Every structure is written in structure tokens, then in C-alpha cells.
Chain A
Amino acid sequence: MTGEHRPRSILLVEDNPVDLDLALRAFSRQGAECRIEVARDGEEALAFMHRWERGHPLPALVLLDIKLPRVNGLEVLRQLKSHPRFGYIPVVMLTTSGEDADLGQAYELGANSYIIKPVNFARFIEVTEQIEQYWCLLNALPN
């Protein structure tokens, strides 16, 4: 297997600076083993993924905010899930409300799960821990 010696990574796509900063702090607080890569909008996220063609490792998980400037989260999701290689990578949508009308569409496009960004920071830490445990450390992907 390739990349076994390297820590796996999570691509976090988030435009809101506060949410981004808190998410990074939550991951570091729970002592995440995965490296967190950051993209600030949809274009950056797609550019990051396509670095794979130049030999960069792919993330084990994409955490994708639904509402993003420029290329929005649903479009990023569509492009990832229709790509022959990226399509395998689990994508967890980030939303502020479980009632988000876009959630249904996200599932249709192949999103693997979603999480509601918790207002409570302690809860945020728990959620990041669960995400890493399940999607990043336990989840096995085809090579």
C-alpha cells in the first residue's frame, strides 16, 4: 500500500473564517492523527484534489461546506463524485441546519453523510473526533 508511512489527511472546505478556525482548533484539541488540509472555496478544493495528477496524495475524507463562494459545495460534490478516482473518497457535508433544502440534493449527488455544525464548542470537539474515528481511521477505501 502506498502512503502508509504518511499520515492520512482530511480536506476541510470552509469559507467562514470563524468556523474554519474553530474546526481546526477542535481537531487539534481532540488530538487528531490526520493532517487537516484547508480550501477556502470550491475552486481551491477542486484545485487541491487535482494535485493528485502530479503525484500528491488524496485526502481520506472531504469535509465540505454546502454554501461556498464561487464554485458552491454542491458543484464541488458533483465533480468529485463523477470523477473516476475521486468518486471513492467519502464526502461529509457541513451544514448549519438539518433542514437545509440543499441536503437532499447533496445526497442525490452521492454525499456520504452530513453534520450540523454545532453551536456548542465542546460538542464540536466531539463531532470532529467522531468524524476522524469513523471516516478517516476506520473507513477503508479501495486503492
Chain B
Amino acid sequence: MEKPTDATTPCNATDAARITALINRSPVVAIEWHNQPGWPVGFVSDGVAQWGYSRDDFISGRIRYADLIHADDRPRIELDVAEHLANGPDDYRQEYRIRTASGTWVWLDDRTWLTRNEHGNVTDIHGVLLDITAIKIAEAEVRRLNATLEDRVAERTAQLQAANQELRSFSYTVSHDLKAPLRGIEGYSQLLLEQYRDRLDEDGHHFLISIRRGAMHMHELIEDLLTYSRIERQTLDIRAVDLPALVQGVLDGFAHEIRAQGIEVVVKELPPQIRADPSGLTLVLRNLVSNALKFTRATSMPRITIDAYRRDRHLVLTVADNGVGFDMKYHDRIFEIFQRLHRAEDYPGTGIGLALVRKALQRMGGTVWAVSEPGQGATFHVELRQ
């Protein structure tokens, strides 16, 4: 292996000429100051021409380099140089502005090293100067953008908060102002039914029952809408959940319907513990089971199967039924609020259930999709990040 060339190794005349040419052609300016009062310049390369000066401006002492340094930077630079001269280290780097001959300012990256005599006193200061004005401008622009970005984020956040607040007062209005007249309709129709039953003929009785059914449906709608808007505001609580117990709890809630409809419920082997928001997951399963119950009502030998499988780092829960199913061209629409594929008189509901499922899952960072065929039942897949 060749011995690396020491920086102080003298080079021959060809090398010197080559290095001079390289430096003079490069964007850097090489400069040497004597460590004497006023820091007279002993050498400077041709590069100073880029700032409108000649080498002789400095060599002759016509221009003092220190005078070119920006007044805001000068005290800092002088202090810094004095510190390095006294205590080292002898290699250092500084950034400051100098004035060009035309009066503009350029930023310099000044890489400096010191030469000391046998007593340790600095005799010469050597510097390689590089114009970094473009970098400085870009940095300032990035800083400005960052600052305005924060402003813009703050502004957008404020807008979103205002919109959110509006939504809250909207849901409050829904609950408060829509429920008040409903209490009147429900209450008085009940009184009418109880106190005037014998004075109503069959038609009158039918009308009254229809009014009450409408009021009841309205009440369900309001409650579901409130649940829907509440999901947004609830804090997420992702933790270890006993899945079999949670599923059983949901099924227990439907025990009456399951018995009444004679539905076979099959729960396959589920992972004992998963990570989820228990109240969100309960809401999801409750709505999916309720959905399955509704659409198997006309099925002979109705069956609901709950299963789970792993997919990468996700757990997928499935709720399958053998009910009426749906055409896959509607597979996305069923999760939109107020979208229904069946006539309300055939399958009553508010059209909010599956929208609730999707929204609750979005908040948990999960997804839901359905696979079905008309008459062949439907399988809902609930994917949860683990």
C-alpha cells in the first residue's frame, strides 16, 4: 500500500501549477492572513474576482478583509478567532457575511486552520471560503415555510375545530329539538289510545297505530343518529379484549330474538385475546348480528356463523348468515348512511346500522367489507390491526 501523502509534503512545480489551476477554477477562494494587527492578507486566490475584487486589493492592503465582514457578524467572528488563537482547536469553521464590491452581501462558509511557530504562537491563518448564499436563502425559505406551515396548520385546525363544534351543536339540536315534538306525538297518541279507544272505529284505531309506529321509527332514527355522531367524540380505548367473552355478551343481548327466530348460532374457535376498543367492537358486532338476524327472517334453517382468521398483522372477524344476501354491485353502498337495498316494509330499520359499523372501525384503524350473492347469504369481514 502506498503511504498517504502528508499535507506538508512539498510537491514539485508541476503539481503546484496543477493545484493552483484547480483552485483558481474552483468556486472556493483560498486565502492566508498573517496574524498581525489588522490581519494583512499574504495570499489570496483568483476566486475573489467573483465578489468584484482583485487579488491586489487585499495584498496591497487597500482593502482590509475584516472591514468586509457584516457588522452583525463581526463581533461574533472576532471573538471566535481570538478564542481559537488562544486555546485552539486549530481547525475550525465559521459562517458569516461579507460585502461584495457592488455592495451586495454574500454568505461564506470559512474553513480555517492555523499555523503556529515553535513557541506555539499563531503566525498565519489559512482559510478556504465558499459562497453559501444560495444555501442560506434556501434555508431561510424552508424556515419561513415551516413557520407559515405551522400558521396554516393552526388555521386549518381552528377551522376543523369550528366545524366539529358545529357538528356537536347539530347533534345536540337533533336530540333536543327533534325529541321535544316527538314526546308530544308519542304522549298524546298514547293517551288517545288509552282514553278514547272505545270511541274510535277500526279506521281511526289503525290511523292512530300508524302515527305511533311513525313516531317510534322517528325515535329510533334520532337515537341512531346520535350514536353515529357520538362515535366521533368518544375517546378511543384500544386494549386487550377477551374476544370470546365479548362475542358471547353481544349474542346474549339478542338471546330473545335468536330463540324466537329459531336461529342456529355457530361460534368457531376465536383467539382468546385481541387488541381493540371494546365499546367500539361491541357496537360493530351488535350491528352485524342485528343485521344478520334481520336478513335471515325469511330463511328456513337460519344460521349465523362467527369466525376469525389472521391476515398478515391483522385479525379478521367474520359474521356470516344464510339470509337474503345482496348483489355485489352494491357492496360499498350498504355502508353509506341511509342507504338501503330493501323496502322498509320488508326489512325495517333506520339505514344507519352498517354506517355505524364502518365509522366505528375507521376510528379503530380497521376496515369492513362484505361478500354476498342474492339468496346465498352474506359474510361481513371486520379487519382489526393487531
Task: Show the binding face of A for B, using Cβ within 8 Å.
Answer: 16, 18-19, 22, 25, 67, 96-97, 99-101, 117-122, 124
Residues of chain B within 8 A (CB-CB) of A25 are 187, 191
**CB-CB nearest 6 A-B residue pairs:** A18-B184, A121-B187, A121-B190, A22-B187, A97-B175, A96-B176
**Is A96 a contact of B191 with CB atoms below 8 Å?**
no
Contact of A22 among B175, B176, B184, B215 (CB under 8 A): B184
**Is B172 a contact of A19 with CB atoms below 8 Å?**
no
Contact of B230 among A22, A67, A99 (CB under 8 A): A99
Shortest Cβ gap from A95 to chain B (Å): 9
Q: List 21 A-B contacts (CB under 8 A).
A: A18-B181, A18-B183, A18-B187, A19-B180, A19-B183, A22-B187, A96-B176, A96-B180, A97-B175, A97-B226, A99-B172, A99-B226, A99-B230, A118-B183, A119-B183, A119-B219, A120-B219, A121-B186, A121-B190, A121-B191, A124-B183
Q: Which residues of chain B in 167-188 are interfacial with respect to chain A, using CB atoms and an 8 Å cutoff? A: 172, 175-176, 179-184, 186-188
For chain B, give the interface size range. Answer: 10 to 19
Q: Assuming A18-B181, A119-B182, A119-B219, is B176 touching A97 (CB within 8 A)?
A: yes
Contact of A119 among B172, B176, B186, B191 (CB under 8 A): B186
Cα–Cα distance between A20 and B184 once the two chains are bound (Å):
10
Cβ proximity bits B186-205 to A, threshold 8 Å, 1 near / 0 not: 11101100000000000000
Q: Assuming A119-B219, A121-B190, A122-B190, is B172 touching A22 (CB within 8 A)?
A: no
Contact of B187 among A67, A99, A101, A124 (CB under 8 A): A124
Cα–Cα distance between A97 and B191 once the two chains are bound (Å):
24
Contact of A16 among B180, B182, B188, B230 (CB under 8 A): B180
Residues of chain A within 8 A (CB-CB) of B190 are 121-122
Cβ proximity bits B215-240 to A, threshold 8 Å, 1 near / 0 not: 10001000000100010000000000
Cα–Cα distance between A18 and B188 once the two chains are bound (Å):
9
Shortest Cβ gap from A102 to chain B (Å): 10
Main SS of chain B's interface residues?
Answer: helix
Cα–Cα distance between A121 and B192 once the two chains are bound (Å):
12
Q: Assuming A121-B190, A121-B191, A122-B190, is B184 touching A96 (CB within 8 A)?
A: no
Which chain A residue has the least Cβ–Cβ distance from B184? A18
Cα–Cα distance between A25 and B179 once the two chains are bound (Å):
19
Residues of chain B within 8 A (CB-CB) of A121 are 183, 186-187, 190-191
Residues of chain A within 8 A (CB-CB) of B181 are 18
Residues of chain B within 8 A (CB-CB) of A96 are 175-176, 179-180
Best-buried of B179, B187, B191, B215 by chain A (most CB within 10 Å): B187
Cα–Cα distance between A22 and B186 once the two chains are bound (Å):
10
**Is B186 a contact of A120 with CB atoms below 8 Å?**
yes
Residues of chain B within 8 A (CB-CB) of A99 are 172, 175, 226, 230
Residues of chain B within 8 A (CB-CB) of A117 are 179, 183
Which chain A residue has the least Cβ–Cβ distance from B182? A119
Shortest Cβ gap from A119 to chain B (Å): 5
**Is B179 a contact of A119 with CB atoms below 8 Å?**
yes
Shortest Cβ gap from B146 to chain A (Å): 37
Cα–Cα distance between A67 and B176 once the two chains are bound (Å):
10
Best-buried of A97, A101, A117, A119 by chain B (most CB within 10 Å): A119
Residues of chain A within 8 A (CB-CB) of B215 are 119
Shortest Cβ gap from B208 to chain A (Å): 13
Shortest Cβ gap from B185 to chain A (Å): 9
Residues of chain A within 8 A (CB-CB) of B179 are 96-97, 117, 119
Which chain B residue has the least Cβ–Cβ distance from A98? B175
Shortest Cβ gap from B232 to chain A (Å): 12
Q: Which residues of chain B in 139-189 are interfacial with respect to chain A, using CB atoms and an 8 Å cutoff? A: 172, 175-176, 179-184, 186-188
Residues of chain A within 8 A (CB-CB) of B180 are 16, 18-19, 96
Which chain B residue has the least Cβ–Cβ distance from A17? B184
Q: Which residues of chain B in 228-263 are interfacial with respect to chain A, using CB atoms and an 8 Å cutoff? A: 230
Residues of chain A within 8 A (CB-CB) of B184 are 18, 22
Other A-B pairs, 12, CB within 8 Å; known A119-B179, A122-B190: A18-B180, A18-B184, A18-B187, A96-B180, A97-B226, A119-B183, A120-B186, A121-B183, A121-B190, A121-B191, A124-B183, A124-B187
Cα–Cα distance between A80 and B215 once the two chains are bound (Å):
37
Cα–Cα distance between A136 and B176 once the two chains are bound (Å):
27
Which chain B residue has the least Cβ–Cβ distance from A124? B187
Which chain B residue has the least Cβ–Cβ distance from A97? B175
Which chain B residue has the least Cβ–Cβ distance from A22? B187
Residues of chain B within 8 A (CB-CB) of A100 are 172
Which chain B residue has the least Cβ–Cβ distance from A25? B191
Residues of chain A within 8 A (CB-CB) of B230 are 99
